[in-house]
Amino acid sequence: MTAGADPNGTLAGRRVGFVGLGLMGVPMVRRLAAAGAELALWTRSIEKAEELAAELPGAEAMPSPRHVAEAADTVIVMVTDADAVEAVAFDPYEDEWGIAHGLSEDGLVIDMGTTAVDRTRDFAGRIRMIGGSWVDAPVSGGTTAAEAGTLTIMAGGSDPDFARAEPLFRAMGQRITHVGPVGAGQIAKTANQMIVGLTIGAVAEALALSKRAGADPARVREAIFGGFAHSRILELHGERMVTGDFQPRARVTIQRKDMRAARDLAEQVGLALPGLAANLPLWEALVEAGRGDLDHSALVLAIDPEEWDDA
């Protein structure tokens, strides 16, 4: 299903909680506010939530994820990984401040981050035991698409739960697909991230080879535009490589996490993926070299550091 961004007040009266105000979370919240949602916000830095709430009509900062759930009928989670999802959803430390502790019996939790498939299904089952529902709806498109309301959203959950979530997705996304039951959205995102990681690797290797062989990688990139090798990653990440612009839009650490998740899922289903097996060590090497906070286009530094460190 495809839907356009909808900033025209169609979420008026909808009480939406949002947990996690990072690079992606903030622009997503702004899109929901533009669509008229009443927002309850929480992030680890309460000051950040308070500052954002002060900017947006109908928004309020909350002291914990539990308070967010108490104030909303739907809670969106946008945090870094499965451990962070478990922490905000269930508070395994004090067993008191998680979303589950404040969720109404018919409340809906939507995880829009990238979370391991097996743990997603576990989290969904735990929420069902208290009468709530879970939709996994990871996104693709990065901060640029989040700001424009043109995210690609791949959702897993029951038909009724997807229908409840869809108006929110319309405010944030352009291409929205209900992939299947709980976990299916994360499977799609794992496939997406695998393609991204492997393609960044292919572009980085091609440009590194071009430079080492004596050609200007910027001109090589320009020369292959429009052919079968043309891709969005060649456009965006290739440009970052040749200009040395590694300011983070999506961090190396996050890409490594996603490639590890793909490896783990492949192991769970008994499938050998040789390309992934060759690519993942490059991400590991970048993190070990202290470059985990760079943009994931910095993978080229792991392929030929002698040539590219001074690029």
CATH of the domain at 242: 1.10.1040.10
Same domain, 103 and 121: yes
- CATH number for the domain including 28? 3.40.50.720
Is 189 catalytic? The answer is: yes
**Residue linked to tokens 């356009």:** 4
Residue 309 has a pLDDT of 74
| Contact call for residues 280 and 252 (beta carbons, < 8 A) | no
Same domain, 152 and 193: no
The Cα–Cα gap between 215 and 16 comes to 53
Same domain, 193 and 101: no
Q: Which has more confidence, 117 or 309? A: 117
| Contact call for residues 231 and 202 (beta carbons, < 8 A) | no
Domain assignment present for residue 22? The answer is: yes
Same domain, 121 and 155: yes
How large is the C-alpha radius of gyration of the chain?
A: 20
Torsions phi, psi for 38 (to 5 deg): -90, 125
Same domain, 51 and 135: yes
Share of the chain above pLDDT 90, in %: 92
Catalytic residue, chosen from 48, 189, 211, 257, is 189
| Contact call for residues 149 and 59 (beta carbons, < 8 A) | no
> pLDDT of 240-252, one tens digit each?
999 999 998 889 9
Helix (H) or strand (E) holding 176: strand 173-180
Mean pLDDT of the chain: 94
The Cα–Cα gap between 97 and 82 comes to 17
Tokens found for residue 260? 């590890």
**Residue linked to tokens 């997705």:** 169
The Cα–Cα gap between 106 and 209 comes to 56
Say which range, 9-13, 30-34, 214-218, has the weakest mean pLDDT: 9-13
Residue 47 has a pLDDT of 96
Query: What confidence category does residue 1 fall into, taking pLDDT thresholds of 50, 70 and 90?
Result: very low
Query: What confidence category does residue 5 fall into, taking pLDDT thresholds of 50, 70 and 90?
Result: very low
Tokens found for residue 182? 């709980």
Count of domains in the chain? Answer: 2
Same domain, 170 and 38: yes
Q: Which of 129, 153, 180 is the last residue of a domain?
A: 180
Same domain, 218 and 146: no
Domain assignment present for residue 4? The answer is: no
Same domain, 220 and 139: no
Same domain, 143 and 275: no
Domain ranges, residue 290: 188-308
Query: What confidence category does residue 306 fall into, taking pLDDT thresholds of 50, 70 and 90?
Result: confident
Same domain, 107 and 173: yes
Task: Give the up-direction half-sphere exposure of residue 273: CA atoms within 13 A in the CB hemisphere.
Answer: 22
Same domain, 36 and 150: yes
Domain assignment present for residue 294? The answer is: yes
Q: What pTM was estimated for this model as a whole?
A: 0.90
Residue 61 has a pLDDT of 98
Q: What is the DSSP letter of 209?
A: H
| Contact call for residues 232 and 257 (beta carbons, < 8 A) | no
Tokens found for residue 76? 């969106």
Closest to 264 in 3D by CA, of 276, 275, 253, 279: 276
Same domain, 69 and 160: yes
